[in-house]
Chains A and B, each alone.
Chain A
Amino acid sequence: MTYIGTPRSRVDGRAKVTGAARYAGEFTAPDLAHGYIVSSAVAKGRVLSVETEAARALPGVLEVFTHENRPGTAWLSGNYQDEVAPPGAPFRPLYDSQIQFSGQPVALVVAEDFDTARDAASLIRVTYEAYPHQTDLHVQRAKAYVPSKKRDGIDPPPPPRGDADAALAAAPVSVRQEYSIAPEHHNPMEPHASTVIWEGEGKITVHDKIQGAQNSHNYITNVFGLAKENVRVLSPYVGGAFGSGLRPHHQLALAVMASLALKRSVRVSLTRDQMFALGYRPMTINTMALGADADGGLRAVQHEAVASTSTYEDYQEAVVNWSGLAYRCDNVKLGYKLAQLDAVTPLDMRAPGAPLGMFALESAMDELSYKLKMDPLELRLRNYAEIDGNTGHPFTSKELRAAYRQGAERFGWSRRNPEPRSMKEGRELIGWGMATGIWEAQMQQTSARATLMPDGTLEVATATADIGTGTYTILAQIAADAMGLAMEQVMVRIGDSSLPTSPVEGGSWTAASAGSAVQAVCYKLRDELLNHARSMPDSPLANASLQHVTFTEGRIALRSDPARFVTYSDAMRAGGHRMLSLEQTTSPDPNVQKTYSSYTHAAVFVEVRVDEELGVMRVTRVVDAVAAGKILNPKTARSQIIGGVVWGIGMALEEETFTDHALGRFMNHNLAEYHVPVNADIHEIDVIFVEEEDDKTSPLGVKGLGEIGIVGTAAAIANAVFHATGKRIRDLPITIDKVIG
C-alpha cells in the first residue's frame, strides 16, 4: 500500500478549476431547446386557467406544456417512486390542476433559447382557486402522527426500554426543554439542471444533476415507459448536492417529457429561487428530558421530535434514535412524529436528522452539566456507552474516548473556567462549548468493474457519483494500491447509469461501498492474472500461489526472488486477452449487521466570542476530533470535515428559510437573504483524525466521513454561546435578535 492513507490532491481538481469538468446544465446539442418553469404562486388549490397565447405568440417559442396538454405517459404515482423516496405518492409534475405546494411547476415553456423561454414564461397568466393552507409547524404539531409506513433505510425509534417516566420523576437532577431548528435549504453552488439529448429513434442521453445516475435512469424509464436501453443518464460531476441530488426532481421529468414530445434535445435549468421548491431540511421541534443521579449518571432519556412533512409523502429521517445510543442509560423513551404542511416534501440534507436530534440531546446534556456542576466533557465520559443501547449490540469500533481526549487537549479544554460569563477580552465575552457527534457507518451492496488495458493502464468503473467529496481520488488510490500501479495509470469512471450497479452517493457510505467493490474487483483481477501467468510455458511463477507473489509496477513477481516475474501484459496475452475486464459485487457482512452497531463519532470543541450588547457572534476556534475508521486520504478527508463544520456554523448562527404563513411560501429564496457562512465567518478549524481500527464495517476499514462534520457542531456552538453569555438559546439559528432579546 502506497497511496491509501496518504494525502493526495484530487485527481479531478484540475478539470474542475479549469472548467474542463462539465456539469448537467452545461452540455449541449445542435438541436438544443430550452425549458423555463412557471411556478405556482399559491400553496394549495387548483389551477383554473393558464393563458398561454401571448407566450406562444413569441417568435422562438416551441411549446407550452401545462397539465391540460401534457403528453400522455405513465402517470401512476407508483411509477414516480425512486430509490430513496419516502412512503407516499410522489409529486407528479403537470399531472393535474391540483396545487400541493407554493413554487410547484404549473407550466413549462420550451423555446429555441433560454431568454425567449424566460421572456415567454413572464407572459403566462395563471389563475387559481386557492384553498385554505397550513404551513406553520407550530400549529400543525397538534395533529402530529406516527408515520404508518416506515421509510426504507430509516429505522423508526426503538421501543422504550426501562421506565423512563418513573426514572425521570425520581431523578434528583433533571432537564426538560424544547429545542427547535428552522427549515434549511441545501443551496449547492450548482443549480439543478437536466439536459436531455435526443439521440433519435426514441433514445435519449440525459445529463442530470443527481447523486446516483441509476436512480434517475430508473425514474425516467418508469415514468415514461421507456426501455432501459433507450435511456442513459450521466452525472460525472456534481457541483455540490448535500442530499438535494438524491431524488430525481421535476426539472428532470419536465425536460424528458419535452424532449420526447418535441423529438429534440431539451435542457431545463432551475433558477436559484426555483431551487427552494425542491425540498428542504424539515423544521423540527424536539422535546427532550434528561434525568440524572447527583453524580451525573444518566437515569432517564426522553426525546420526542415532531418534524414537518408534506401532505403527499411521509418524509422520515432518524432524529431521536441517537439519544438512545449516545450514552449509557437504562430508561429511554423515544418518539418521532410527523406533521403535514402544505409545502413541498422535505429532502435529505447532510446527515439527515442527526444534527437536529443531536442539537437537542447535546444542548440538554450541557444544561444538565451546569445543574450538576460538572464539567460537560466529564458528564459525557461518565455516561460513555460501551454498547449500542438501542440494540444491545457492541460497536464495530468506537474510539470516541480518544476523540474526547485528543480534542480536549488540542483545544485546551482543561483551562476552561466553568462559570458562564467568566471569560472576557475587550468587549467580547468568550465561551467554550463542546458536543458529541454521531453518524452511522454503513456499507451498501455495490458492483464495480476493473479493466486492464493493453497498454497496462487500469480503468475502474461503478455507477456512483462524486458530489465534491473526492470519490474519484480515493477510488484511484484504492485501485492503484490493489494492482500495484501508479495512480496516474488508473482511470476512474463513475456517474454513468450504464456502469455496474451502485446505490446513490449518500449516507457517508460511498467510500466503504464503492471503495470495497473496487478493491474486490482488483483483487479478482490479480487472481485471474496470476492464473494466466502460472499457465505460461516455463512460467517463473508456475508453482506460485497468491501469498508467494507481489503485484507491483505492472509485474507479478516472486516474493522470494523479485527478478523472477511476469508482466501483466504477458499474463493477459497468455490468457488470450488483449485486455481483461472483470466485474465484482461486494456486500456488507450480514453477520456483522446482525450482531454489531457501526457508527462514526466526533468530539467538537468550539470557542465563540460574543459582543453581548450588539449580539454579534464570532466562532473563533473549532477543534473537531473524528473517529471514523481508516482515513483513505487525509487531505480530502480534512476538507470533508471542514465543510461539515462550516455548515454546522451556518446551521448554528445563520441558516433559516422564512415562511410567510399567510401566503404559504418561503420568502428568502435567494442567496442574499438566505445566509450561509462567508469567509469572514470562518476562523481556525482544526481537524483531528483519531486512530481507529475497524475490521467489520467494510473490508477497507473505512467508516465514511460525509456527514460527521456537521453533527454536534451547532450544539457545541450553542453551548459555547451559553458559556459566554449565560443565555441558553434553544431555537436555531442563534441570531442577533435572540442574543440581545
Chain B
Amino acid sequence: MERFSYHRPSGLDEAVRAVGPHGKFIAGGTNLVDLMKYDVERPNRLVDVARIPGLDRIEPLPDGGLRIGALVSNSALAYDERVQRDYPLLSRAILSGASPQLRNAATTGGNLLQRTRCYYFYDAGTPCNKREPGTGCPARTGRNRIHAILGTSEHCIATHPSDMCVALAALEAVVRVSGPGGERAIPMAEFHRLPGDRPEIDTTLAPDEIVTAVDLPAPRFPRHFTYLKLRDRLSYAFALVSVAVGLEMEGETVRDARIALGGVAHKPWRVPAAEALLRGRTAGKEAFGEAAAALLQGARGFGDNDFKIELARRAINRALAQAAAGKPQSVADKRIA
C-alpha cells in the first residue's frame, strides 16, 4: 500500500478538479481500500466524495422513472419502497450480493465501478494485463473457474463482479456523469466495456469524470422478473453465473424481454437479438432455449470455467421460466424456484 493524500471536497466541481491523473474518488471504499491494501490500486490521492450533498437521494423522474443518486447506499436502494415495488429485480439483485455490512457502506456509484475478482488481478505477485498492462494474462491457461466465457480477449478474461449492474443492464438504466466538460448520460450497455487490448480500462467513464446518478426508466417488469444467481456457496459469494430477466407478458405470450447475464463477461452481458427472439413467442422451453443459445453464441471456456457455458444455458432457461411464471427467485430461500 502506497502513501496517498486525502481530500474532502465540498462539491462536485471541486471533486472533479481535485482528483488529478493518479487520483481516485472514494465513497464506501468497500472495494478500493481492499485493492489498495493488496497493492493493486496505487492512487496518489483519494478524493472522498461521500459527504458531497445532494447525491444520496432517490427521486422520481417526470417520465415515471427514478433517479438514484450516486451516493445512495446499496442497502438504501434495495430497501427503498419504490424500488421494491416498481423495480423488484434491482432490489433482489442487490440483496443477493455481498453482506448487510458491505451493502450499508457500498454506494450506487461505487458498485458500478467495482473491479474484477480475478485471482491474478488481486495478486500483485503475478502478471496481469488489467493490473499491469503488457505483463500477460496467466488466467487464460491457469485457474479460471470464475472467469469469462463471453467477450474475452487474448489480453484478459476477467468478469465484472457486480449483481446490481446486471439488473441495471436489464432495466436499461442510464448512468449520469459529470466532468470538466459538463454532464453526459451513458446507457448501461455502453458504460462497461469489453477488455479488448485495453483490459486495464473497465468503463467508458473518463478519469476525471464522476458518476452522479443512475436513471431508471419507467417501470416495465414489476411482476415478470427474476434475478437468479448461482455461486459456490449459498450466500456471500460472487456469481459463477447470474441471470436478470424482465418480461412483459400477455397471457402466455412474451410481449417484450430484457435479459442480462452476470459472471460471464467483462460487463453485464446483453444480446438484443436474443430478446427480440422472444417477442411474440409463447413462453416455454422452445423459445427460452433459442434465447439462451443466442445469448451464449460464441461462448468459449478456458478449462476450469468450461462448465459455465452449460450452467449459463440452464440458468437462462430457468430464469426465463421463473419470470414468465411470475415466480421470481427468492433471496432468503436458497431453494431455486
Task: Please state if A662 and B138 are interface contacts (CB–CB under 8 Å).
Answer: yes
Known A428-B335, A737-B307; contact A665-B126, beta-carbon cutoff 8 A: yes
Known A672-B238, A675-B237, A735-B232; contact A740-B123, beta-carbon cutoff 8 A: no
Residue of B nearest to A618 (CB): B334
Q: How does the 8 Å CB contact mask read for B13-54 relative to A, with 1 for contact and 0 for none? A: 000000000000000000000000111001000000000000
User: What is the predominant secondary structure among interface residues of chain B facing chain A?
Assistant: loop
Task: Please state if A660 and B310 are interface contacts (CB–CB under 8 Å).
Answer: no
Complex interface: chain B residues within 8 A of A653 (CB):
233
Q: Is there a chain B Cβ closer than 8 Å to A615's Cβ?
A: yes
Contact of B336 among A39, A614, A670, A673 (CB under 8 A): A614
Q: How far is the CA of A618 from the CA of B335 in the complex (A)?
A: 8
A118 to chain B, nearest CB (A): 5
Interface size on A, residues (CB 8 A): 46
Complex interface: chain B residues within 8 A of A662 (CB):
138, 141-142
Q: How far is the CA of A736 from the CA of B146 in the complex (A)?
A: 12
Contact of B138 among A123, A609, A663, A675 (CB under 8 A): A663
State which residues 633-685 of A face B: CB under 8 Å: 653-654, 658-663, 665, 667-670, 672-673, 675, 677-681
Residue of A nearest to B42 (CB): A122
Complex interface: chain A residues within 8 A of B138 (CB):
660, 662-663
A-contacting 9-mer, from B114-122, B166-174, B246-254: B114-122
Q: Is there a chain B Cβ closer than 8 Å to A178's Cβ?
A: no
B242 to chain A, nearest CB (A): 12
State which residues 226-264 of B face A: CB under 8 Å: 230, 232-238, 240
Q: Is there a chain B Cβ closer than 8 Å to A553's Cβ?
A: no
Q: How far is the CA of A681 from the CA of B233 in the complex (A)?
A: 7
Known A611-B335, A614-B336, A677-B233; contact A118-B1, beta-carbon cutoff 8 A: yes
Task: Please state if B232 and A736 are interface contacts (CB–CB under 8 Å).
Answer: yes
Q: Is there a chain B Cβ closer than 8 Å to A426's Cβ?
A: yes
Q: Is there a chain A Cβ closer than 8 Å to B318's Cβ?
A: yes
Complex interface: chain A residues within 8 A of B3 (CB):
119
Q: Is there a chain B Cβ closer than 8 Å to A37's Cβ?
A: no
Q: How far is the CA of A658 from the CA of B147 in the complex (A)?
A: 14
Q: How far is the CA of A665 from the CA of B145 in the complex (A)?
A: 16
A731 to chain B, nearest CB (A): 14
Contact of B119 among A618, A658, A679, A737 (CB under 8 A): A658
Q: How far is the CA of A677 from the CA of B237 in the complex (A)?
A: 10
Interface size on B, residues (CB 8 A): 40
Q: How far is the CA of A672 from the CA of B1 in the complex (A)?
A: 20
Q: How far is the CA of A427 from the CA of B314 in the complex (A)?
A: 14
Contact of B233 among A39, A654, A737, A741 (CB under 8 A): A654
Q: Is there a chain A Cβ closer than 8 Å to B315's Cβ?
A: yes
Task: Please state if B119 and A740 are interface contacts (CB–CB under 8 Å).
Answer: no
Task: Please state if B145 and A614 are interface contacts (CB–CB under 8 Å).
Answer: no
Complex interface: chain A residues within 8 A of B143 (CB):
658-660, 667-668
Q: Is there a chain A Cβ closer than 8 Å to B2's Cβ?
A: yes
A139 to chain B, nearest CB (A): 16
Q: Is there a chain B Cβ closer than 8 Å to A538's Cβ?
A: no
Q: Is there a chain A Cβ closer than 8 Å to B186's Cβ?
A: no
Q: How does the 8 Å CB contact mask read for A601-617 relative to B, with 1 for contact and 0 for none? A: 00000000101011110
Q: Is there a chain A Cβ closer than 8 Å to B294's Cβ?
A: no
B29 to chain A, nearest CB (A): 16
Contact of B234 among A271, A273, A678, A741 (CB under 8 A): A678
Known A119-B3, A613-B318; contact A736-B311, beta-carbon cutoff 8 A: yes
Task: Please state if B235 and A679 are interface contacts (CB–CB under 8 Å).
Answer: yes
A519 to chain B, nearest CB (A): 43
Q: How far is the CA of A675 from the CA of B119 in the complex (A)?
A: 14
Q: Is there a chain B Cβ closer than 8 Å to A41's Cβ?
A: yes
Contact of B2 among A119, A613, A654 (CB under 8 A): A119
Known A122-B39, A678-B233; contact A740-B314, beta-carbon cutoff 8 A: yes
Q: How far is the CA of A427 from the CA of B122 in the complex (A)?
A: 37
Complex interface: chain B residues within 8 A of A654 (CB):
232-233
State which residues 107-144 of A face B: CB under 8 Å: 115, 118-119, 122-123
Complex interface: chain A residues within 8 A of B126 (CB):
41, 660, 663, 665, 667
Q: Is there a chain A Cβ closer than 8 Å to B125's Cβ?
A: yes
Complex interface: chain A residues within 8 A of B37 (CB):
118, 271
Complex interface: chain A residues within 8 A of B233 (CB):
653-654, 675, 677-678, 680-681
Residue of B nearest to A615 (CB): B311
Task: Please state if A660 and B142 are interface contacts (CB–CB under 8 Å).
Answer: yes
Task: Please state if B1 and A122 are interface contacts (CB–CB under 8 Å).
Answer: yes
Q: How does the 8 Å CB contact mask read for B200-236 relative to A, with 1 for contact and 0 for none? A: 0000000000000000000000000000001011111
A678 to chain B, nearest CB (A): 5
Residue of A nearest to B308 (CB): A737
Task: Please state if B318 and A614 are interface contacts (CB–CB under 8 Å).
Answer: yes
B303 to chain A, nearest CB (A): 11
Task: Please state if A122 and B2 are interface contacts (CB–CB under 8 Å).
Answer: yes
Task: Please state if B234 and A609 are interface contacts (CB–CB under 8 Å).
Answer: no
Q: How far is the CA of A679 from the CA of B307 in the complex (A)?
A: 26
Residue of A nearest to B98 (CB): A672
Complex interface: chain B residues within 8 A of A669 (CB):
123
Residue of A nearest to B305 (CB): A737
Residue of B nearest to A682 (CB): B234
Complex interface: chain A residues within 8 A of B125 (CB):
39, 41, 102, 665
Task: Please state if B307 and A736 are interface contacts (CB–CB under 8 Å).
Answer: yes
Q: How far is the CA of A122 from the CA of B311 in the complex (A)?
A: 40
Q: How does the 8 Å CB contact mask read for B107-119 relative to A, with 1 for contact and 0 for none? A: 0000000000101
Q: How far is the CA of A122 from the CA of B42 in the complex (A)?
A: 10
Task: Please state if A613 and B314 are interface contacts (CB–CB under 8 Å).
Answer: yes
Q: How far is the CA of A736 from the CA of B231 in the complex (A)?
A: 8
B288 to chain A, nearest CB (A): 13
CB-defined A-B contacts under 8 Å, sample of 29: A39-B125, A118-B1, A123-B2, A273-B123, A611-B335, A614-B230, A614-B315, A614-B318, A615-B230, A618-B234, A618-B335, A654-B233, A660-B142, A662-B138, A663-B138, A665-B126, A667-B142, A668-B143, A672-B238, A673-B119, A678-B235, A678-B236, A681-B234, A736-B230, A736-B311, A737-B311, A740-B310, A740-B314, A741-B307
Taking beta carbons and an 8 Å cutoff, which residues of B are in contact with A? 1-3, 37-39, 42, 117, 119-120, 122-123, 125-126, 138, 141-143, 145-146, 230, 232-238, 240, 304, 307, 310-311, 314-315, 318, 334-337
